Chain A
Amino acid sequence: MLWNTLLLALREIRRNVMRSFLTVLGIVIGVASVITMVTLGNGATQHVTAQIASMGSNLLMVTPGRRMGPGQQGMAPAFKGEDAQAIAREIGSVSAVAPVSTGAATAIFGNENWSTSVTGTTSEFIALRNMALHSGRNFTTSEAHAGAAVCIVGQTVREKLFGSQDPIGQRIRLGSLSFQVIGLLEAKGQSMGQDQDDLVIVPLRTFQRRISGNQDVRLIQVSIRDGASTEKAQQDIRLLLRDRRRLAAGEEDNFQVMDTKEISTMLTGATQVLTGLLGAVAAVSLVVGGIGIMNIMLVSVTERTREVGTRLAIGALEREVLLQFLVEAVALSSLGGLFGILLGLGASFGLKSVLQVPFVFDPGIAIIAFLFSAAVGVIFGYFPALKAARLDPIEALRHE
């Protein structure tokens, strides 16, 4: 009986393909946007997680400010270069420390100029970030100390400024100062729409004096010796920095020491908020889609009043008529859901190269979206179906 009912419902949907399609458009759009968002969001999360994992699990990131998330660092004072030195000096389990300050600058070489990001740091930075030198060399200790005007450039900067020339030994201008290029980084490629090769690295002291004009350090990257406890190191750094920042016993930390897991949580937090928001939008469009289905089902019941009368006269039970219309509504909304899932996956697949995130298919969310759209059919199809089932056979048969 149910199988028959389903066939009957599908036939009814096929009879009016255009109308059926327009009816479920709301659900198609709702489901498609959920699927797209979640798929892209998962891709982004996976990508970030993989990248951070590639930095090594023994990495810590120290940032000023209480709250999580970039741009939410509040009024907490920045670090100084000395804080990084203190960590390197006093925490035994630390293998490398790199204070990091970044800013934007225009790099000029001859007639070419290129807006890029400048990072002021120490020679440990390249290894800490899993980067490698393609040619040339890293800073020397004396260059770092002296704040020498030397720099290491990424592949994008090389391409934009030097074309096919060898950059090593050339001089470029950054802001008001001329820098000698001493190194060229290996290409790292794109990541989440960001070019990781578009940067210039200079010694921290040089950056502070010539580019930012202050002593602030916004980030200290620390790597822990293999085999040492990350948690212990985290705790040691915390106590050291509390002391250096003169926090009283009851005061909260005004900085954070995050391990890789916390870093990825912080970075993916933003995509999750976005996913949640768009999920809400999608829920609204599902409800709108449901109302569309209810509307068309009511029209359909009125149009088919005589048919319902005939069925009742032939001996259809109230609940069989109810089931027929309910199955029709559910078939309609489920088809919409299915269509939406395919559309969403297609859109994610199409957008993956634009947004540079991997395509991560999550069958769970597809199943949930499908069940949701079916549920919309049940909820919004119930009232019209009930209306049909409650018809008086005589009156239904007389209906014009």
Chain B
Amino acid sequence: MVASTQTNGTALIELQGVTKVYGEGHAAMRALAGIDLRIEQGDFVAIMGHSGSGKSTCLNILGCLDSPTSGSYRFQGVEVSQLTRDQRARLRRYYLGFVFQGYNLLKRTTAIENVELPLIYRGVPARERHQIARRTLAAVGLEGWESHSPSELSGGQQQRVAIARAIIADPSVLMADEPTGNLDTARSEEIMDLLCRLNREAGITIVMVTHEADMAEYAKRIVHFKDGRIESDQQNGRTN
């Protein structure tokens, strides 16, 4: 009932008939075959589905890293396909945070330097940057690990550095591609608790791709992908 009233306003994210085709001719591969999806501010969406069902492709489009082959993507009412490359970069810089499947931390670069990277591009002065980065690392439970480089951190710690980097600039949306993919159950639960807290306390909208039903259970809403289409889209019964 709540969802029907919201459809009238401008959603944070709105996909309409989005398709994505890789390659051409015989080799063409239809990764997304018409996706309609609305995500409101403050939501916590888990995207599930088999391998190859188009989850990452969809997340990349939502993250303005990739453009749809056809269809419309509006972010806060703005048609993303009409933006230039630089405008999309600015959109990512000011509104989006990413947690990549393989962390993608800069090698031989300390945790704090990795975390403050988005602030560098926002032009935040060094002293302030260090303060915020320190605080953000503490928020993900990495106090005291500031000057360790990724090779000196465990997988879970690296993932938390990646999350700290994604949230340091207060994004509207956090995109996370299998944030618990490489972690054991205990670490995974820690990460999910962290994401829930960010969603609840900081009001960050979260879109998370995951394979694991256990992890999806943390989200408010679960979307199932199958062969490039949305198979099901349900509010999650569990309250958190």
Contacts and interface: CB of A to CB of B under 8 A. Distances in A.
A313 B65 CA distance: 7
A313 B121 contact: no
A309 B102 CA distance: 12
Contacts of B123: 1
Contacts of A394: 60, 65-66
A53 to B, nearest CB: 57
B98 A314 contact: yes
A4 interface: yes
Contacts of B120: 1, 4
A316 B90 CA distance: 8
B100 A397 contact: yes
Contact of B121 (A306, A315, A318): A315
Contacts of B228: none
A318 B92 CA distance: 13
B117 A314 contact: yes
Interface in A289-330: 306-307, 309-318, 320
A318 B89 contact: yes
Contacts of B201: none
Interface residues of A, number: 19
Nearest to A316: B121
Nearest to B60: A394
A314 B86 contact: no
Contacts of A317: 86, 89-90, 121
A397 B106 CA distance: 12
A224 to B, nearest CB: 71
A397 B104 contact: yes
Nearest to A311: B117
A318 B106 contact: no
Interface in B90-104: 90-94, 96, 98, 100, 104
A207 to B, nearest CB: 77
Contacts of A306: 104
Nearest to B166: A314
Nearest to B56: A394
A393 B67 CA distance: 11
A15 interface: yes
B172 to A, nearest CB: 13
B92 A315 contact: yes
A190 to B, nearest CB: 55
Contacts of A4: 120, 126
Contacts of A314: 92-93, 98, 117-118, 121, 165
Contacts of B65: 313, 393-394, 397
B85 interface: yes
A313 B92 contact: yes
B174 to A, nearest CB: 13
Nearest to A12: B108
B101 to A, nearest CB: 9
B89 A316 contact: yes
A306 B150 CA distance: 15
Interface in B120-151: 120-121, 123, 126
A99 B207 CA distance: 100
A64 B86 CA distance: 74
Interface string A97-112: 0000000000000000
A318 B119 CA distance: 17
B63 A313 contact: yes
B104 A310 contact: yes
B85 A318 contact: yes
6 contacts: A313-B100, A314-B92, A315-B96, A316-B93, A394-B65, A397-B65
What 5 A-B pairs come out closest when comparing CB atoms? A315-B93, A315-B92, A310-B104, A393-B65, A314-B118
Given A309-B104, A316-B93, A318-B85, 6 more contacts: A310-B106, A313-B63, A314-B92, A316-B89, A393-B65, A394-B66
